[in-house]
Chain A
């Protein structure tokens, strides 16, 4: 709990510095406003610096921001979102094990639809089957949305495609990078993954209790760890420049919400259609699919209305692909 309180005080410090970005803020005054000692304030400033916030310390005068920080404080995120349900409640962590774990805990406590959990750093960011998601502090976007759709559990799979489509579009629009989607939802730039999506659902047979949509985007990573360079990349690496995480996050959230509402009203067709337009994997691509012990090869033949991948196998049969790992051959 103390940890949470400190997260909130750090947010407040970032917001105060941002609000007074052009002036020198007296250290004593800042410390008083936050209710901490000047030495604690100094520790926090150091912590923010380690997250890339550029603060000038002027002895005897105070602190001054050199640049508007790219820290995803709830206030900054909320201000960028207008009036949607996504982000109606925002929990921001400077460090947590995983936003999925935090979101799961909050969902169990009846957190409303649209609740957003963001972390600057994840110490145990995860993908499917307990795979690790590399979460370098303050350079990536790591968040989980809690959704409570009135959908049959069997109709919810489209949300994984929806997330991929929204991410691919925003990365293309903001970063001017060529994005591709590898079925069902790997967002690729020049055949390397730059964003990961993990969607977990808790459902009774007829009713969804909640869905956790976890998204990680490699934004400003100068480089990826050695063992990931063959498969993964960052937007910074691909574009050769730094991007505002806040801008990308808020654009992604808005696009996610727009498609989500469209999907609930009109069904999955709009997502399947957009996916097919963006993805080079949707049709006519030679692929290799590993699904447990099974290995399939063939050519993709479009998506079903539900978003299931159709594969024309080498033996001429068409198979509906629901899972497994798809790779270009």
Chain B
């Protein structure tokens, strides 16, 4: 897929990741509070992200901007309604070596246990696990086994992607719906130019 086709979908996704750190409801409440109290500018910092809200007194439409706490500048885009913007020049910590650290649950596919049972990472005791963090998997590839009453349930990947996290250790009990793996879906245009 050409780079152009992918771009439009990128910024909304990244917005979600930031709003995960500072939740959207909180921001709305903040804006309401600032409007109510007649405060024109507000700034806060949390989890490495600085949130700045400034109200244009003439239009009464507040501007919200996010930026990494340690970077300078970064101005929100004016909009008739409150808008959440992440500075594209974001450096640390949002675009560190491991960008997955701040990606939200919406971007990762969470593989959950379909049943109560025991988690097995490998087909045979003492052999390498089906998958490890960093492995690329294909749809239908076995990720682990959940056993209950000797029913061996092979959990397969439903989508192609990369294992970025394994929640459970071999031999541990798991509950229904408990997360087993985080999978970063493979994008059709994963290569960056």
Contacts and interface: CB of A to CB of B under 8 A. Distances in A.
Given A293-B171, A322-B173, A160 B149 contact: yes
B50 interface: no
Interface string A149-171: 00011101111110000000000
Interface in A185-224: 185, 197-206
Interface residues of A, number: 31
A184 B150 contact: yes
Given A154-B176, A204-B158, A322-B173, A128 B114 contact: no
Contact of A128 (B115, B150, B171): B150
B114 A154 contact: yes
Nearest to A108: B140
Contacts of A60: none
Contact of A322 (B117, B125, B154): B117
Interface in B81-125: 112, 114-118, 120, 123-125
Contacts of A153: 114-115, 153
Given A130-B124, A206-B114, A322-B117, A200 B150 contact: no
Given A130-B124, A154-B115, A161 B152 contact: no
A307 B124 contact: no
A308 B149 contact: yes
B153 A203 contact: yes
B57 interface: no
Given A129-B124, A130-B124, A204-B158, A160 B151 contact: yes
Interface string A167-186: 00000000000000000110
**B interface residue count range (under 10 / 10 to 19 / 20 to 34 / 35 or more):** 20 to 34
A197 B151 CA distance: 10
A247 to B, nearest CB: 27
A316 interface: no
Contacts of A156: 115, 151, 153
A164 to B, nearest CB: 9
Among A128, A184, A323, which residue has the most Cβ atoms of chain B within 10 A? A323
Contacts of B120: 129
Contact of A154 (B116, B125, B152, B155): B116
A322 B115 CA distance: 11
B148 interface: yes
Most chain A Cβ neighbours within 10 Å, of B125, B152, B171: B152
Contact of A159 (B112, B123, B125, B151): B151
Interface string B121-157: 0011101000000000000000000011111111110
A59 interface: no
B116 A161 contact: no
A199 B154 contact: no
A292 interface: yes
Given A153-B115, A322-B117, A201 B123 contact: no
Contacts of A204: 114, 156, 158
Which of B115, B154, B173 is packed against the most chain A CB atoms within 10 Å?
B115
Contacts of A161: 149
Contacts of B118: 291-292, 322-323
A161 B148 CA distance: 11
B150 A197 contact: yes
B149 A292 contact: no
A184 B115 CA distance: 17
Residue in B120, B150, B153, B171 with the greatest tally of chain A CB atoms within 10 Å: B150
A216 B124 CA distance: 20
A109 B123 CA distance: 23
Contacts of B153: 153, 156, 200-203
Given A184-B149, A185-B150, A200-B153, 16 more contacts: A154-B116, A156-B153, A157-B148, A157-B151, A199-B150, A200-B154, A201-B151, A203-B153, A204-B156, A204-B158, A292-B171, A307-B149, A322-B117, A322-B118, A323-B117, A323-B149
27 contacts: A129-B123, A129-B124, A130-B124, A130-B127, A153-B114, A154-B116, A156-B115, A156-B153, A184-B149, A185-B150, A197-B150, A198-B150, A199-B150, A200-B151, A200-B153, A201-B151, A201-B152, A201-B153, A202-B154, A202-B156, A292-B171, A307-B149, A308-B149, A322-B117, A323-B147, A323-B148, A323-B150
Interface of B: 112, 114-118, 120, 123-125, 127, 147-156, 158, 171, 173, 176
